[in-house]
Amino acid sequence: MDNRPIGIFDSGVGGLAVVKYIKKLLPNEDIVYLGDTARVPYGTRSRNIIEKYSIQDIKFLLSKSVKFVIAACGTASSILYGGYENNFSFHYSGIIKPTCDIAIKLSIKKKIGIIGTSATIKINKYQEYIKKYDKNINIYSQDCPLFVPLIENRFIEPRNKITSLMVEKYLEDMRGKIDTLILGCTHYPIIKSHIEDYFGKDINIVDSGFETAKFVENYLKKNNMNNYTKKIGEVFYYITDDKDSFGKTGSIFLDEDIFKNISVIDLDIF
Amino acid sequence: MDNRPIGIFDSGVGGLAVVKYIKKLLPNEDIVYLGDTARVPYGTRSRNIIEKYSIQDIKFLLSKSVKFVIAACGTASSILYGGYENNFSFHYSGIIKPTCDIAIKLSIKKKIGIIGTSATIKINKYQEYIKKYDKNINIYSQDCPLFVPLIENRFIEPRNKITSLMVEKYLEDMRGKIDTLILGCTHYPIIKSHIEDYFGKDINIVDSGFETAKFVENYLKKNNMNNYTKKIGEVFYYITDDKDSFGKTGSIFLDEDIFKNISVIDLDIF
């Protein structure tokens, strides 16, 4: 057993989806969450910058003695996938592998759509993973750079007209072509209802946050790394800009007041 | 006379509007432009963070021996207005004063609308300046946090449906109430046609970028600070993320290929 907390990071509020699922699947675990809100979004930035930010995020989490690091961010996961993560000396998961494994299982027609930030789609790691598994799977990918700003600014209520139009704009080339869609950014499940409305019920939508939480649940169990000392774990939130916006969106999303557990930190020293 | 370049900074591409106007009004001047593209947008961030970034931006420009610093960014201008800028030992202008002076002149009915980023509207400097001049002027202000992401992602062609809906969403409370509208962020003139379509022709739209360029033209003349050694000045672009997106948008906006004049720098050392 291992009583240390699980570390989770994202550029902003998207990774809170993973927090939500981990709390449900592993209620006894403590969590240290880092949202790099002063530098959100990551997905419109270049490879070098995202690499630098992601490594700083991880160093911060390791300074908090976490037992497992989750990159709960499609963009950071893509940057770290392969080369970087193979050399990590700590327990780690991004969202690429858990998400793709499920999508591959679900896609009967071997036609998978992938949506993500511009960086994620450009770096191409989801696509590489799936092609390596089965080169006969057809992949349709599309970057959706405005989804994260829309979500961070709470254009999220069901049937919001602007969000629906944005979904149509980004996804129209995929409609009718795929049977499975990967939400390759942890922000996107927050507007899942808009995506379902657009596609109808006839496709599988794979939520990268949920699949990653499931993967971590199995990993801890298999490696005897669970925390058995607590019934209800605590969550400590660290962010890099002020508490107001993150606290509001996070409290709505997690359905509890998280303000008291938020600390503001400076990542420049990491 | 003073042959040193004019320094201009913004969080991203918005300040290029000021570059465009300065090139027109003062074609013989050299310009050093800084776009902090790795950390755009500024306007959704907190006071402390924007302050830190703006001071780094200015230190960088001063390291390039500029004779005048223009904060071509509504958010940075708001942060620096008053306290900070009163203590500057170099020639400086933000966009607040030049813009408000014109709006006050144009508004016959004394009903002025102000739109800007969330930080700009919250920090309240446009409003303070106008109220100090004439407390009987009615002010209607509104933050439009999605305008910068839409513009940076090129949702800018006339009558773009999503941009038009966003304009309607943010500006509907002002329609019919104002005779003059301040575009309090240098990005916004790029979607001026959408705003004109929404309001009709019966209001004055004040372009903060243009008014600031006019102000600097007069300032240099009055203080005998012009560069008379060149017929056509050069522009040197410095950005903090990669060249691709900035180069594309900038080349379209300025109607010339700017890629060859772009350098990528790291502001962390400033």
| Cα–Cα nearest to A17, from A161, A171, A214 | A214
Judge if ipTM > 0.85. no
**Residues B218 and B15: beta-carbon distance below 8 Å:** no
CB B15 within 8 A of CB B72: yes
B157 touches chain A (CB under 8 A): no
Q: Which long-range contacts (CB under 8 A, 24 or more apart) does B135-139 make?
A: B136/B110, B137/B104, B137/B107, B137/B110, B137/B111, B137/B112, B138/B110, B138/B111, B138/B112, B138/B177, B139/B112, B139/B113, B139/B114
Does the CB of B162 have a partner CB in chain A at under 8 Å? yes
Overall average pLDDT of the B155-160 stretch: 90
Checking if the pLDDT of A245 tops 90, the result is no
* Chain A residues with CB-CB distance to B155 below 8 A: 146
* Alpha helical stretches, state H, chain A: 16-25, 47-63, 74-80, 83-86, 96-106, 118-123, 125-133, 147-152, 161-171, 192-199, 208-222, 243-254
Residue B153 CB partners (closer than 8 Å, separation 6+): A44, A145, A146
Give the model confidence (pLDDT) of B179-234 as tens digits. Answer: 999 999 999 998 999 999 999 888 999 999 999 999 999 999 999 999 998 889 99
Confirm or reject contact between A245 and chain B (CB < 8 A): yes
Q: Which residues does residue A33 pair with via DSSP β-bridges, in sequence order? A: A8, A237
Q: Give the residue from B82, B112, B113 showing the smallest Cα distance to B97.
A: B82
The tens digit of pLDDT for each residue in A55-78 reads 999 999 999 999 999 999 999 999
Report yes or no: A63 and A4 within 8 Å, Cβ to Cβ. Answer: no
Do the chains contact at A165 and B161, CB–CB below 8 Å? yes
With 90 as the cut, is the pLDDT of residue A16 above it? yes
| pLDDT bracket for residue A46 (50, 70, 90) | confident
- Give me the half-sphere count of Cα atoms (radius 13 Å) on the Cβ side of residue B256: 11
pLDDT at A154 over 90: no
Is A83 in contact with A24 (CB distance < 8 Å)?
no
CB contact under 8 A, B46 and A242: yes
Pick from B39, B44, B118 the residue to mutate for testing the A interface (most A CBs within 10 Å). Answer: B44
The partner residues of B143 in beta bridges, in order of sequence, read: B116
**What's the alpha-carbon Rg for chain B, to the nearest Å?**
18
Q: Name the residue of chain B whose CA is nearest to A265's CA.
A: B49
Q: DSSP readout, B22-67?
A: HHHH-TT--EEEEE-TTT---TTS-HHHHHHHHHHHHHHHHHTT-S
Q: Tokens for A99?
A: 């998400």
Residue B44 has pLDDT above 90, yes or no: no
Mutate to test the interface with B, among A37, A49, A53 (most CBs of B within 10 A): A49
**Under a CB-based contact definition with an 8 Å cutoff, are residues A39 and B235 in contact?**
no
Task: Look up A185 and say whether it is catalytic.
Answer: yes
Q: Is the pLDDT of residue A45 over 90?
A: no
pLDDT of residue B242: 84
Is the pLDDT confidence value at A262 over 90?
Answer: yes
Domain annotation for chain A: domains and CATH numbers: 6-94+210-269 (3.40.50.1860), 97-208 (3.40.50.1860)
Residues of chain B contacting residue A47, judged by C-beta atoms under 8 Å apart: 242
Report d(CA A69, CA B57) in Å as an integer.
34
What's the confidence (pLDDT) of residue B27? 96
User: Any catalytic annotation for residue A100?
Assistant: no
What residues of B act catalytically?
73, 185
Does B172 reach chain A within 8 Å, measured CB to CB?
no
Instruction: Indicate the angle between helix axes B16-25 and B243-254, nearest 10 degrees.
Output: 40
Q: Which tokens is B270 given?
A: 């400033």
- DSSP for residue A90: S
pLDDT of residue B234: 96
Please name which of B7, B81, B37 lies closest in space to residue B244, comparing C-alpha atoms.
B37
Which residues, including other chains, have CB under 8 Å from residue B65's CB and lie 6 or more apart? B4, B5
Number of Cβ within 10 Å of residue A20's Cβ equals 17
Across A36-43, average pLDDT: 90
Please name the amino acid found at residue B244.
D
Would residue B257 be called left, alpha or beta, if left means φ above 0 and alpha means ψ between -120 and 50 degrees? beta
| A173 in reach of chain B (CB within 8 A) | no
* Per-residue pLDDT band at B153 (split at 50, 70, 90): confident
Q: Mutual orientation of helices A161-171 and B161-171 as an angle, nearest 10°? A: 160
DSSP of A127-143, one letter per residue?
HHHHHHH-TT-EEEEEE
Band of pLDDT at residue A36, cut at 50, 70 and 90: very high
- CB-nearest to B166 from A162, A169, A268 is A162
The beta-carbon neighbor of A150 closest among B38, B146, B245 is B146
Q: How far is B172 from chain A (nearest CA, A)?
A: 15
Share of chain B above pLDDT 90, in %: 80
Asked if B71 and B94 count as a contact pair (C-beta separation under 8 A), the reply is yes
Read off the pLDDT of residues B81-118 as tens digits, 9 standing for 90 and up. Answer: 988 888 999 999 999 999 999 999 999 999 999 999 99
Helices A208-222 and A96-106: crossing angle in degrees, nearest 10, is 110
Mean pLDDT confidence for B141-155: 92
**Residue-by-residue DSSP string for A41-75:** --TTS-HHHHHHHHHHHHHHHHHTT-SEEEE--HH
Could you give the strand order of the β-sheet that contains B262-264, starting from the edge strand earlier in sequence?
A: B92-93, B68-71, B6-10, B31-35, B235-239, B262-264
Burial classification of residue A235, based on how many CB atoms lie within 10 Å of its CB (0-12 exposed, 13-18 middle, 19 or more buried): buried
Cβ contacts of residue B179 below 8 Å, gap of 6+?
B106, B107, B108, B109, B111, B112, B202, B203, B204
Residues of A in contact with B150 (CB under 8 A): 146
Asked whether the beta carbons of residue A44 and residue B245 sit closer than 8 angstroms, the reply is yes
Tokens for A197?
A: 């409305």
Give the one of A45, A150, A242 whose C-beta lies nearest to B38's C-beta: A45
List pLDDT tens digits, range A172-184.
999 999 999 999 9
User: Is residue A15 pLDDT above 90, yes or no?
Assistant: yes
Give dist(CA B33, CA B192) in Å, integer. Answer: 23
Residue among A31, A73, A100, A220 flagged as catalytic = A73
A44, B152: Cβ pair inside 8 Å?
yes
Closest CB from B49, B161, B241 relative to A49: B241
Does pTM surpass 0.90? Answer: no
The overall average pLDDT reported for chain A is: 94
Mutate to test the interface with B, among A162, A169, A268 (most CBs of B within 10 A): A162
Among candidates A44, A165, A241 on the partner chain, residue whose Cβ is nearest the Cβ of B162: A165
The residue type of B43 is G
Q: CB contact, 8 Å: A155 with chain B?
A: yes
Helical pair B192-199 and B161-171, crossing angle rounded to 10 deg: 60
Q: Please tell me the predicted confidence (pLDDT) of residue A237.
A: 98
d(CA B247, CA B13): 9
Of the candidates B75, B78, B98, the residue with the CA atom closest to the CA atom of residue B210: B98
Inform me whether the pLDDT recorded for B168 exceeds 90.
yes
Q: What pLDDT does residue A121 have?
A: 96
